[in-house]
Amino acid sequence: VYTPNSQDELKRLAYRMEWEDAFLSYLKELEQEKPVIFCGDLNVAATEMDIKNAKANEKNAGFTKEEREKFAVIKEKGFVDSFRMLYPDTVTYSWWSYRFKAREKNAGWRIDYFITSSALDDRLVDAGILTDVTGSDHCPVTLTVDLPFCP
């Protein structure tokens, strides 16, 4: 999934909020059939731990109160941030601006996630953020899940 960016001056924040509600509704529909795993650039650093300069970014796209609250609602509705569940105290990032040598200084944001239905909690084996992989302003995220074999 790619979550819409709220853009400069939060021009698309209202649109983003509508999108978040529609996306959560879609996820809950899917979950009626089977547990859900989704991955992508969610364009939000969910907590202060997930961004290098929290205070300086509170009014910027990707770290507004509204965006973080929508992420919290996803969790309240039965979904899990797999990396944070497995590594509750680990500070690492998945995105860095191309400006100001942000990656070199590790001044980043964790905005790329694997989110899972809580029904899969006991099947989550590992989650990773491959910070050594370069070539983009993002790095890959991984998830290992112990699922039953289905021929």
User: What is the identity of the amino acid at 119?
Assistant: A
Tokens of 34: 């089977």
Q: For this structure, is 50 an active site residue?
A: no
- Largest separation between any pair of C-alpha atoms in the chain: 51
List, as one string, the DSSP characters of 80-122. EEHHHHH-TT----SB--SSTTHHHHT--B--EEEEEEGGGGG
Distance CA 66, CA 61 (A): 10
Q: Which of helix, strand or coil describes residue 36? A: coil
- In whole angstroms, give the CA distance from residue 123 to residue 119: 9
Annotated catalytic residue within 2, 8, 89, 132: 2
Query: Which residues, including other chains, have CB under 8 Å from residue 75's CB and lie 6 or more apart?
Result: 81
Instruction: Write down the catalytic residue from 8, 15, 21, 41.
Output: 41
**Residue 41 annotated as catalytic:** yes
Structure tokens at 145: 């899940």
Active-site residues: which are they? Answer: 2, 41
